[in-house]
Structure 1
Amino acid sequence: MDRTDLRILDALQHDGSLSNVALAEKVHLSPSPCLARVKALENKGVIRRYVALLDPKALGLGLNVFIFISLKSQVRASLERFEQTIAEHPEVMECYLMTGDSDYLLRVAVKDIDALERFILEQLTPIAEIEKIRSSFAL
């Protein structure tokens, strides 16, 4: 990977919807070699996919919360059941298996504190694998 590839990646990371012509212009290449480089980066797995970043507030999700989950058991089957269950909840934006005091870190987006309370009490608490739930707010 050279500097031109890095410029292509930087431009696409800022705006993944750039047309090839606009991208080529931005990185000072002609369109054909630019497209070849992008395709090579895709084929190598450097560029895995293109996504749209949504504004949570515009979607009515004004509260961003980090929830730390400790499970009763850390055996593979328990972890898999928890991950499958948590994947069904649209409030969960991200889910990470962690080391340290908690087994999982969830990033959750909800409308407000009432929606958070409902999510914790009605969606998380009934999950049999969960032993402990702690939360922190993003400011």
Structure 2
Amino acid sequence: MPLDRYDRRILEALQKDSSLSNQRLAEKIGLSPSPCLRRVQALEEAGIIRKQVALLQPEKIGLELMVLMHISMDRHTPERFEHFEAEIKKSDEVLECHLITGHDADYQLKVVLRDMAHFQDFLLNRLTRIEGVTGVHSSFVLRKMIDKTEFPVY
């Protein structure tokens, strides 16, 4: 779907605040409400807008620990990867899971947990019990310098 300047403005505005009413969004981008709503619906139908969410502050709800984990697998087969991915999708703690290259690892996970006891349980009783996992390297996030969900719409 080709994006024009109004589509780009809609995407930029909704990335900053997805709770905008259609009326307010239309005002911000310089369209009347009806065409604005049609454009938003078209962006949703095209899969450009995946979903609208509320972003939470993890520390405020007791999730004090963020960990970046590199996971190594024993075999590089589609079946092994499919099994790992199906199992990891069951973990609420995993915010992101990426199949990666350029490291000694096959996957990178971004995980949020309550504390070290929660991390230990996640690591020893769940993650390392997934068939095919041969190595885990964990890095604990000390501070986030950039924490955004918006990206440029060119």
Match of 1:135 in 2: 138
Provide the rounded CA distance (Å) in 1 between the counterparts of 2:83 and 2:7. Answer: 40
Q: Secondary structure at the match of 1:73?
A: coil
Match of 1:27 in 2: 29
Provide the rounded CA distance (Å) in 2 between the counterparts of 1:49 and 1:37. Answer: 15
Runs of 4+ in 1 over 4 A off after TM superposition: none
Q: Secondary structure at the match of 1:45?
A: coil
Of the candidates 6, 9, 12, which is equivalent to residue 7 of structure 1? 9
Of the candidates 95, 98, 107, which is equivalent to residue 96 of structure 1? 98
- Percent identity (aligned): 50
Match of 1:18 in 2: 20
CA shift at 1:129, angstroms? 0.9
Provide the rounded CA distance (Å) in 2 between the counterparts of 1:107 and 1:76. Answer: 22
Q: Give the total of aligned pairs.
A: 139
CA shift at 1:44, angstroms? 2.6
Q: Which amino acid aligns with 2:126?
A: Q
Provide the rounded CA distance (Å) in 2 between the counterparts of 1:18 and 1:26. Answer: 10
Provide the rounded CA distance (Å) in 2 between the counterparts of 1:87 and 1:43. Answer: 25
TM-score (norm 1): 0.92
Q: Which amino acid aligns with 1:136?
A: S
Structure 2 unaligned residues grouped into runs of 5+: 144-154
Q: Which amino acid aligns with 1:121?
A: L
TM-score (norm 2): 0.83
Q: Which amino acid aligns with 2:86?
A: Q
Question: CA offsets per residue over residues 32-90 of structure 1, 9 Å max, x none?
Answer: 12112212222332222222222211221111100100001111111111111111111
Structure 1 unaligned residues grouped into runs of 5+: none
Q: Which amino acid aligns with 2:47?
A: G
